[in-house]
Amino acid sequence: MKARLFCTTIITVLFTIFCQAQTATISGKVGLGVSNLSSTAEEFEIVLKNQITNDSVVIPLTTVDYTFNNVPLGGSYIIYVNTAKNNEDYLNGVSTLDLVMITRHILGVDQFNNPYKSLAADVSEDGRVSVLDLVMLRSLILGITTALNHSWIVRLQEDITKEKIIINNLSGDLVNQNFVLIKKGDINGNPK
Ligand SMILES: [Ca+2]
Ligand SMILES: [Ca+2]
């Protein structure tokens, strides 16, 4: 009886260890870049896609925090924020106050204090903040034009040249897998 109990205990312990080792948790934030990820806007979706099977898990985001639980170890994945449903409403968060802030940055009077503001201001998407961006935003505000190249863009916090997290051979839990949301034309962080 004792031997059976011992075996059962051993099996239970091994089963627990084995099962715990099989999956991992991936977590992070998806927040507005101009507010240093402390707030979000709209409802974006974050997607975890298996690179081999193309199976996806989609989480609708209502707060800045996200968590993917029970992600199988050893797998290869792509994580990205889907902005397809949000890429309209170009005027969201864009006002003459943003124009003033961009003007002050260009003049060197009050320069942007984080790189995401420069990305937000560069609506012409030529890699720099200039009078051309002001002209495009003014035309949008006045209704002369109705669209920009993008309404929202997404970047990785650890590398603002990248949009997606690529994971090969997941070996354990991952934290701080943070995405930065940038609303084009909004510098003070007030999109709805
Ligand atoms: Ca530009
Ligand atoms: Ca604004």
Return mean pLDDT, the chain. Answer: 90
pLDDT > 90: what percent of the chain? 76
Spacing, Cα 144 to ligand 2 middle (Å) = 19
Tell me the pLDDT tens digit for each residue of 141-173: 999 999 999 999 999 999 999 999 999 999 999
Spacing, Cα 160 to ligand 1 middle (Å) = 17
To the question of domain 23-183 being in CATH 3.40.50.300, the answer is no
- pLDDT value for 15: 52
Spacing, Cα 34 to ligand 2 middle (Å) = 10
Q: Is a pLDDT exceeding 70 seen at residue 46?
A: yes
Highest mean pLDDT among 6-20, 30-44, 63-77: 63-77
Give the ligand with the smallest distance to the CA of 188: 2
Where do the DSSP E strands lie in the chain? Answer: 23-32, 45-50, 56-60, 65-72, 77-82, 152-156, 165-167, 179-183
Strands 77-82 and 165-167: antiparallel
Q: Is a pLDDT exceeding 90 seen at residue 109?
A: yes
Structural tokens at position 29: 């934030």
Give the ligand with the smallest distance to the CA of 41: 2
Question: How do the domains of the chain map onto residue ranges?
Answer: 23-183
pTM: 0.84
Spacing, Cα 116 to ligand 1 middle (Å) = 13
Spacing, Cα 134 to ligand 1 middle (Å) = 9
d(CA 164, CA 167): 10
pLDDT band of 13, cuts 50, 70, 90: low
What residues have a C-beta under 5 A from ligand 2, the ion? Answer: 93, 98, 186, 188, 190
Structural tokens at position 36: 């240093």
Q: Is a pLDDT exceeding 60 seen at residue 66?
A: yes
Cα-only R_g, the chain: 22
Tell me the pLDDT tens digit for each residue of 168-190: 999 999 999 999 999 999 999 99
pLDDT band of 88, cuts 50, 70, 90: confident
